[in-house]
């Protein structure tokens, strides 16, 4: 990865002293935990009731596709009307839909009813992660701590992916096949409503001007760089989805289903550790170069998963893959914050989160079919294909990831402290971007 400068910069301790931060961080962590439990809970429940990984993956995929399609619209509404007004009804719909899906699966209902219930279950998944990122962006607008905040959020996301799959697997295996999905719905209800109640830290919505008209709004997806990042994040989703199904099939195949949660936890722990390290380093290279480097490491790391038949070696490779994902996620979220105006940030973050969900949905479907037909090893090829395509996309379209001069000035000149630090932060990233353009 790129080298770091020797000068220090604001770190996690200063970030967590941001006034009001803990009021949304703690409920936000609880509310985003179900996101990491949903896919694996559906896969384990439906596989138990149907006996097919392919069917289970397809139902989970419908959930993921629905979330990917509806999440950006929810983000757009949150930018316009406020997070709480969007989050509360979404949480209630999700709890009802997840309960219906659970009842239909346990009742051996026709397959089409599972797909029908999966649509609102996915469409109503609360987008708490993007909302937390939008709150950080509103508080740290243009501040060098924004990069640290992006890293902190990646660590938080990965901590949920350390806890979530392990918790869901333990509940499904040790309590009841439906216990994972029931717990997911309960955490969504409690955490979502508590987060929605924190109105003081929510990003302000634009108010009508003197003429009664709201400020003009630009869709985040209209920005070319956002589209490129969304395409690249499909590859990250392919790793999450492919690993979940492939590891489940692998541990079932060797007669050790209880290893599924720990193996996925090791993979997520690598992601979390790398995220913590990324946030503690002041990078000299531009964000765009770091993103390309991260994907160039991620694709090869995924290339040998399908050849491994030892749980110990698979855990080591999973740790390596996790270490490569965090830099890609952090840098992508950091880049998108510089590409879009403040009025479209929640929507932009949800496009990336939705892209991860869509990639995960496609990967769950493909890996499930491959596991059913050819065994676990074939399912491990899904992350390789997804990350390779993402890397090719980034290399081909890397020129679209440089913010316009107007956007850079807007991002770099609002509400910053310590002018010399800001100057170093802005110029370092700009110089790195100019160097990238010569590659």
User: Alpha-carbon distance 435 to 357, whole Å?
Assistant: 33
User: Alpha-carbon distance 431 to 422, whole Å?
Assistant: 14
Length of the chain: 439
Residue 3 has pLDDT above 70, yes or no: no
- In terms of C-beta density within 10 A (0-12 exposed, 13-18 middle, 19 or more buried), how is residue 233 classed? buried
Q: Note the pLDDT tens digit of each residue in 395-427.
A: 999 888 877 554 544 444 443 333 333 333 333
CA 102-106-112 angle, to 5 degrees, is 75
**All domains of the chain, ordered by start, with CATH?**
23-204+223-437 (1.20.1250.20)
pLDDT at position 211, please? 46
User: Alpha-carbon distance 259 to 329, whole Å?
Assistant: 26
pTM of the model: 0.71
- The separation between CA 392 and the C-alpha centre of its own chain, rounded to angstroms, equals 21
| DSSP per-residue codes, 375-406 | -HHHHTHHHHHHHHHHHHHHHHTGGGGSPPHH
pLDDT at position 83, please? 85
358 in Cβ contact with 232 (< 8 Å): no
- Grouping H, G, I as helix, E, B as strand and the rest as coil, residue 286 is coil
Q: Which of 220 and 5 is assigned the larger pLDDT?
A: 220
Q: Note the pLDDT tens digit of each residue in 58-87.
A: 898 888 888 888 888 888 888 888 888 888
Segment 415-418 long-range contacts (CB within 8 Å, at least 24 positions apart): 415/140, 415/141, 415/142, 415/143, 416/142, 416/143, 416/144, 417/143
User: Alpha-carbon distance 413 to 196, whole Å?
Assistant: 30
pLDDT at position 309, please? 83
The predicted model gives 336-356 an average pLDDT of 79
Q: Which of 200 and 395 is assigned the larger pLDDT?
A: 395
């Amino acid at each position: 990865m790129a080298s770091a400068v020797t000068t220090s910069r604001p770190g996690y301790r200063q970030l967590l002293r941001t006034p009001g931060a803990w009021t949304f961080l703690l409920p936000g962590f609880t509310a985003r935990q179900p996101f990491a439990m949903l896919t694996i809970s559906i896969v384990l429940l439906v596989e138990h009731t149907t006996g097919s990984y392919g069917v289970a993956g397809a139902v989970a995929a419908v959930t993921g596709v629905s979330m990917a399609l509806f999440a950006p619209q929810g983000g757009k509404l949150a930018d316009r009307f406020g997070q709480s007004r969007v989050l509360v009804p979404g949480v209630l719909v999700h709890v009802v839909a997840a309960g219906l899906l659970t009842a239909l699966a346990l009742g051996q209902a026709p397959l089409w009813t599972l797909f029908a219930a999966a649509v609102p279950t996915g469409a109503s998944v609360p987008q708490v992660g993007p909302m937390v990122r939008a709150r950080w962006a509103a508080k740290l607008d243009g501040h060098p701590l924004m990069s640290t905040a992006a890293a902190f959020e990646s660590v938080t996301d990965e901590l949920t992916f350390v806890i979530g799959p392990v918790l869901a697997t333990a509940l499904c295996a040790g309590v009841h096949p439906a216990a994972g999905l029931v717990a997911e719905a309960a955490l969504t209800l409690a955490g979502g409503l508590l987060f929605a109640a924190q109105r003081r830290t929510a990003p302000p919505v634009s108010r009508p001007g003197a003429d009664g008209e709201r400020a003009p709004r630009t869709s985040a997806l209209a920005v070319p760089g956002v589209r490129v990042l969304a395409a690249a994040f499909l590859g990250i989703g392919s790793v999450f989805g492919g690993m979940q199904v492939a590891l489940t099939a692998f541990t079932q195949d060797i007669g050790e289903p209880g290893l599924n949660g720990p193996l996925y936890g090791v993979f997520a722990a690598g992601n979390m550790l790398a995220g913590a390290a990324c946030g503690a380093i002041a990078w000299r290279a531009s964000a765009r170069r770091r993103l390309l480097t991260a994907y160039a490491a991620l694709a090869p790391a995924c290339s040998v998963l399908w050849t491994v038949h030892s749980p110990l070696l698979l855990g080591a490779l999973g740790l390596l893959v996790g270490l490569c994902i965090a830099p890609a996620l952090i840098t992508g979220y950091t880049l998108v914050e510089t590409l879009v105006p403040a009025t479209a940030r929640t929507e932009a973050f949800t496009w990336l989160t939705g892209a991860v969900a869509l990639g995960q949905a496609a990967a769950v479907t493909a890996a499930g079919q491959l596991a059913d037909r050819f065994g676990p090893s074939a399912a491990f090829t899904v992350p390789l294909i997804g990350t390779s395509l993402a890397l090719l996309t980034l290399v081909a379209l890397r020129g679209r990831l440089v913010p316009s001069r107007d956007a850079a000035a807007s991002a770099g000149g609002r509400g910053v402290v310590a002018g010399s630090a800001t100057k170093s932060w802005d110029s370092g990233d700009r110089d790195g971007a100019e160097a990238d353009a010569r590659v």
